[in-house]
Structure 1
Amino acid sequence: MRFKRGVTHVIFFDIEYYVPREHRNGPGLRANPYLNGSFVMGGVFQRYFPIDEKPEKKEEFWIWDMEGKDVVEQEKNLLEKIYLYFRESWTRWELLGKDPGLTEPMAVGFGITRLDIPVLFVRSLIHGIAELERLYDTYFKLRHFDLSVASAPVLPESRNRKVLAPVSQNWAVRNLLGDGRRKPSGTTVWELYDAGEYQAIMERTREEVELARKVYQELRKLRNGLPGRP
């Protein structure tokens, strides 16, 4: 992997996904991008240049801010904006890197490989946001750094020490940042959306991105403190 000052960057992000009432009681992950009536509500995104220790301003896109005669058109317009945000990262990599061996932009967040990235890809595919190959390149050629997985080896396990598995955001934040406050499940955003509590959704998602940045930096600090590290 090769890195370059001013070009190498990560994208901290978190999206919120709406699941209709009739699909909320199933087991496990209930956010399925192929479910009728489900849609991306929006998300918060922030580029961060780790070599320079330089964060850019957070950007956010929300379905209630989009034009459109219905939620279908609004989601399409929302996904176009999110897609262009990620394309900008690829453009920077292609034009400013000037090195075909430079490591691709990195997407960082909790559970992004299980939910956020697949959902953005599938919903964008359904809406025809771009050519299939282009969509795949945009979302799956990113370097995915899922904090639920990356945090697991450095956190205590009290249930079964023989199992190494992804951890929850609450567990990572509690053990890495010393913050014992338990955040409500991500499913609470469905009720907030139904109630029109959009501000609460936005504030929650901004905090998710801020926590992702702090956990990433704490993991980097732990990595750099290992024996043999400069």
Structure 2
Amino acid sequence: MSKQMKLKVNKCRIVFFDLEFYVPESSRVKTGLCYNPWDKKCKLLGGSFLVANPENDFQISEGEVLKKTESFWLWDFKDERELLVTIYELLKKALLVVHNAHQKRVSPLLCGIGISSSDVPILIELFKRYQILSNAEAFKFQSHFRVIDLSQLAIACFNNSNEYLYPKVKNDLLRKYIPNKNFASGKSVWNLYETGKYGEINSRVVEEIAATHALYKYILSDYRKFKRLEKNDKTNFKLEDQVS
């Protein structure tokens, strides 16, 4: 961002989101990501989205976070394409708010846990598969966003005993910052979907958005502590240097 460009924080947007998928037994594997956006037997069930204003939406209660979170589910739409168009329009709206306020020189943020290797590329592939965007348009659309993946952002908040800085999984973050919270694997959603327990899927994902919002704040607080410690260390070093 240019030095002449003033960041209008009230016109910035952070899209916290989490998607859920259904994978039929024939496509399931023991390890790794089972869902494939090009496997027609698999389904995008939908997800929950909190489009947060960083000036106003980090002082609100968990209850307010839950109220502000929007959810879009396959069972409420005609088909998967219609669901995806709704998600695309939500992302496009956030993009336009940020771009219009900053001459297209600042991007909205997509925030979640593990989304850089799953949810984000999956959405882009689905936009292409359902011809919501052409290949070229999908690439351009994705490039207009920036991704804050908490699984990577939080690496510096843990002790790392070797040189392999591996991203932290969701429950690593919860154990550190919100120890009373725990979420089962996304694979548990398959059974909920098969048994028609749609309300439980929605409740689970909305709660995950609230947890992600809280984790973002905890990690940011840790980063600020690190900077204060760094500042204090520099001050003490200068004082010691003057005394010597």
Question: Is TM > 0.5 for Structure 1 vs Structure 2?
Answer: yes
Give yes or no for contact 1:31–1:115 (8 Å, CA) kept in 2.
no
Of 52-61 and 13-22, the range deviating more from structure 2: 52-61
Match of 2:168 in 1: 167
- Give 1:122's match in structure 2, choosing from 118, 121, 125: 125
CA RMSD of aligned residues (A): 2.1
Of 26-35 and 3-12, the range deviating more from structure 2: 26-35
CA pair 161-7 structure 1, distance change in 2 beyond 3 A: same
What is the CA-CA distance between 1:229 and the residue it aligns to?
A: 6.4
Runs of 4+ aligned residues of structure 1 deviating over 4 Å after TM superposition are: none
TM-score, normalised relative to structure 1: 0.87
TM-score, normalised relative to structure 2: 0.82
What is the CA-CA distance between 1:209 and the residue it aligns to?
A: 0.8
Match of 1:70 in 2: none
- Give 1:76's match in structure 2, choosing from 67, 74, 81: 81
Correspondence list, 1:1-230, <5 A = 1=1, 3-53=7-57, 57-67=68-78, 74-95=79-100, 97-101=101-105, 103-156=106-159, 161-177=162-178, 179-225=179-225, 226-227=227-228, 228=230
What is the CA-CA distance between 1:22 and the residue it aligns to?
A: 0.9
Give yes or no for contact 1:5–1:52 (8 Å, CA) kept in 2.
no
What is the CA-CA distance between 1:35 and the residue it aligns to?
A: 1.7
String of CA shifts for 1:154-194, please: whole Å, max 9, x gaps.
Answer: 1245xx644210111111111123x1543211111111111
String of CA shifts for 1:183-217, please: whole Å, max 9, x gaps.
Answer: 21111111111111111110111011111100111
Gaps in structure 2 of 5+ consecutive residues: 233-244
Give yes or no for contact 2:73–2:83 (8 Å, CA) kept in 1.
yes
CA pair 176-138 structure 1, distance change in 2 beyond 3 A: same
CA pair 121-100 structure 1, distance change in 2 beyond 3 A: closer
- The CA distance in 2 between the partners of 1:136 and 1:50, in whole Å, is 26
Gaps in structure 1 of 5+ consecutive residues: 68-73
String of CA shifts for 1:85-116, please: whole Å, max 9, x gaps.
Answer: 00001111232x14343x20000000111110
What is the CA-CA distance between 1:135 and the residue it aligns to?
A: 2.4
Larger helix proportion of the pair = 2
